[in-house]
Amino acid sequence: MAPRPASETSKYARDVGKFPKKVSKAKNKRLQQGLKKVDQEYQEFVKSAEATDVLLQEEAGFLEADGPMERTMKFRQDDIVEAVDVGTANKKLDLQLTELGPYTLDFNRNGRKLLIGGKKGHVASMDWRLGKLGCELFLNETVNAVKYLHNDNFFAVAQKKYTFIYDGSGTELHRLKKHVELTLLDFLPYHFLLVSAGYSGMLRYHDVSTGALVSEIRTKLGPTQAMKQNPWNAVMHLGHGNGTVTMWTPSQKDPVVKIQSNRGPIRDLAVDREGKYMVVSGSDKRVKIWDLRKLQELDTYVIPTPARSVDISDRGLISVGWGPHVSVWKDAFKTHQDEPYMTHLLPSSKIEKIKYVPFEDVLGIGHMKGVGSMIVPGAGEANFDAMEINPYESAKQRQEQEVRTLLNKLSPDTIALDPNFIGMVDKKARNVRLNQTQIQDLEDEEKKEKERSSMNSGPSYKPEQTKLKKYLQKNNANIMDARRMRIERNLKLEEERKEKLKAKELEGEGEPDELLPALGRFA
């Protein structure tokens, strides 16, 4: 077998396997030339894009055990902290916040800022690496979810009833009246959509750049248990009480895909960066891995207690938080793993939320007694695109990035299961282009067909107007006399009778009519 060309195997290849290798022969010579040129350009693109890999200087590595006697899952965080360099060791974070209850957390897009939300109303935004507090709020109200918007200057907090938006210094900017009793928040950065779900079973999309509520969808599946976005196509994945996972776009009122994943209620789910895999944890103690391309279940892992939170790192490490444990699985998308890559225990606590820090080998853990972090070597993407998300951006760069992203904002209705649909030919359309005469012919034929079918499809007669109606129409002067009164009454009676007849006919469709239809009307 001949080796496949680079344009097929490269990670920069597009639509692998969609098209035959050879350019199909076009009838038009010039078109053929053009197609060939485009194909060549594509090959060149792949090649040049591959060549840029040289520029990705950073390498990613994992923990490696010394021989088969040692297991990486047995490595303790203290040992790792001792072994790694100071810079990484400093990323180990441990905030003891025992009073204000289990903490949820969120990182901003470049991973510099940490937003924590204590159940009992403690919200704080901070630069977690410098230990610099941005703002701290004590809301005296239940906090269900916290979420950074497009940058760390805005964040949304789902409180007891309403959802609020605060700025970086903790000033309340908005109260979102429509978003009530929420437990889950997410943000689609390219569409500037704040997505919320909660007890009510409603899924709402709110455009934070214009302030308009884009879409409000009833899931009809009860309180939403879990919600995460698919970063690849911006489809929202919702987990429900009956063990289904549904995928939603703002433009469609029904879920685009509905999966029966677990038997018990879904606890949490996570979608990987490339939108290829989904990890779902349910109350039935199963953690399931789904292939989103084929919509097939890949693997199932059983966990002693239901996993409260799951997350997938940039480089495909799955972390599962269950009880006081965090276990990290490596290569779980490839083969079934016998044991986790790493484990971590938070004694006498309970994991509330775990989330990987973008571009870092760190897993943030929000738990009952505060917020901590865990060093997971090989978790983060080592090479970042500073034009896209820059972890080292300055204030100016952040502002410019904000403007740029606003300019590049995508419309909500571009969200679809296959984001490549834009610009393509409608699936219902013909596969080949027809010229004008052909189209004309087809139209004529269709018309004929229609006519024929209309002729065939039974009686197409104009219902005869009754004399009474005719009379009424004729003399529609606004004069009420005895005759007119009588006529109207008769008309009414006649209609009633007709309706009755119709009802009878519908009713007695099953059994044969004893009186034949001719006599039936007198009955």
Partner 1 sequence: MAKKKQQRSQKRRSERKILDAFHLAERGQNGSDGSDSDGEELQVRDGIMDARKFMKNQDDDEFEDEELDSDEALGSDDDYDVLNSKFSQTIRDKRKNKNADESDSEYDSVDESQLVTLSEAWDLDDKYNSAKKAKSLSQLKSLEVVLNDDWESDSAESDSESDSEDNKDQSAGEGSDSEDDSDGSDDDSSSEESESEDEDKMLRGSDDEDEIDMSKTLSTINSHLKKDPEHKRLINETVKENEYGIPTGGVKLSLADMLGSSEAPETTLISRDLADDLNALAVPLPKRIQERNDRKVAYEITKEEVSKWEETVRTIRDADQLQFPMAPPATEEQEEVDAEREYDSLRIVPENDTKSDLQSKIDAVLRAGALLDESKEATFEQIAAAKLSKEDMFKRTQELRRMRELMFRDEQRAKRIKKIKSKQFRKIRKRETLRDAALVEGSDAESDEEDHDRKRAEERMSLRHKTQSKWAKSVIKSGITKDASTRAELEEMLRSGERLRSKQLGYNDGERSDGNISDVERDYENDDEEAENQERAKLGKGVLAMDFMKAAEERKRKENLKDIEFLKNMRESNGTEALDESSKNSINQTKNQGRRVYTPSAKIAQEEAEEAEEEALHDYRDDEARSLEKQMRGRDRQPEQDTDENEQPPAKKHKVVEEEFAGFDDEDSDKEADSKKNSRAKNSKNPLSSHNDGDLDPEENPWLTGMGESTEKSKKYVAITEDSSRLSKAANKIQKVASKRQTKGKTPDTYIDLNNAMSIAGNVQHSEDEDDDEEGPETRMFLQKNLIQEAFAGDDVVSEFQEEKRRIAEEEDDKTEDLTLPGWGGWGGAEITAAPKKKFVRKIDGVVQKDKRKDKNLKNVIINETLGKHNLKYQSSSVPYPYESREQYERALRMPLGEEWTTKATHKKATQPRVVVKQGVVVDPLKAPFK
Site for partner 1 in 86-145 (CB under 8 A): none
Contact range with partner 1 by CB under 8 A, out of 79-87, 226-234, 391-399, 414-422: 414-422
Q: Which is nearer to partner 1, 136 or 499 (CB)?
A: 499
Task: Establish if 251 lies at the interface with partner 1 (CB under 8 A).
Answer: yes
Residue 125 and residue 14: Cα distance in Å, rounded?
40
Determine which residue in the list 284, 314, 361, 381 makes contact with partner 1, applying CB under 8 A.
Answer: 284
Q: What is the smallest separation between the CB atom of 249 and partner 1, expressed in angstroms?
A: 7
Please give the Cα distance from 247 to 244 (Å, whole number): 10
Query: Pick from 59, 82, 85, 338: which binds partner 1 (CB under 8 A)?
Result: 338
User: For residue 99, which of 365, 350, 369 has the smallest C-alpha distance?
Assistant: 369
Q: Which stretch binds partner 1 (CB under 8 A): 102-110, 119-127, 251-259, 399-407?
A: 251-259
Neighbouring C-beta atoms of residue 403, cutoff 10 Å: 10
Q: What are phi and psi of 288, to 5 degrees?
A: -110, 145
User: Which one, 15 or 464, has the nearer CB to partner 1?
Assistant: 15
Q: DSSP class of residue 463?
A: P
CB of 349 to partner 1, least distance (A): 18
Q: Which of 295, 403, 485, 515 binds partner 1 (CB under 8 A)?
A: 295
Find the binder of partner 1 among 2, 130, 387, 395 (CB under 8 A). Answer: 387
Does position 285 interact with partner 1 (CB under 8 A)? The reply is: yes
Could you tell me the sign of the dihedral formed by the alpha carbons of 201, 234, 355, 144, in that order?
A: negative
Q: Which of 459, 463, 510, 512 binds partner 1 (CB under 8 A)?
A: 459
Span interacting with partner 1, options 137-145, 268-276, 443-451, 455-463, rule CB under 8 A: 455-463
Angstrom distance (rounded) from CA 197 to CA 218: 10
- Per-residue binding letters, 37-76, with partner 1 (x by CB under 8 A): -xx-xx-xx--xx-xx--------------xxx-x-x---
Q: Rule CB under 8 A: which of 18-37 touch partner 1?
A: 18-19, 23-24, 26-28, 30-31, 33-35
296 touches 254 (CB < 8 A):
no
Tokens, residue 137? 């709020």
User: Shortest approach of partner 1 to residue 219 CB, angstroms?
Assistant: 13
The answer for 155, left when phi > 0, alpha when psi is -120 to 50, beta otherwise, is beta
CB of 162 to partner 1, least distance (A): 29
Nearest-5° Cα angle at 445, 439 to 450:
125
> Quick one: which of 278, 381, 346 has its CA closest to 354?
346
Residue range at the interface with partner 1 (CB under 8 A); choices 163-171, 226-234, 307-315, 380-388: 380-388
Applying the rule CB under 8 A, the residues between 312 and 331 that interact with partner 1 are: 327
Instruction: Report strand pairing: 286-291 vs 296-302.
Output: antiparallel
Cα torsion 170, 172, 175, 180 to 10°: value is: 30
Q: Which is nearer to partner 1, 175 or 500 (CB)?
A: 500
Strand locations in 128-171 (E): 132-138, 143-148, 154-159, 162-167
Total number of residues shown for the chain: 523
Cα gap 330→325, rounded to integer Å: 16
Binding string to partner 1 for residues 202 to 241, with x set by CB under 8 A, is what? ----------------------------------------
Among 167, 216, 297, 402, binds partner 1 (CB under 8 A): 297
Applying CB under 8 A, what is the total number of residues that bind partner 1? 87
Contact (Cβ atoms closer than 8 angstroms) between residue 327 and residue 310: no
- C-alpha torsion sign, points 49, 54, 55, 61: positive
Among the listed ranges 98-106, 124-132, 171-179, 411-419, the one in contact with partner 1 (CB under 8 A) is: 411-419
493 binds partner 1 (CB under 8 A): no
Minimum CB separation of residue 46 from partner 1 in Å reads 9
In this structure, the number of other CB atoms found within 10 A of the CB of residue 5 comes to 13
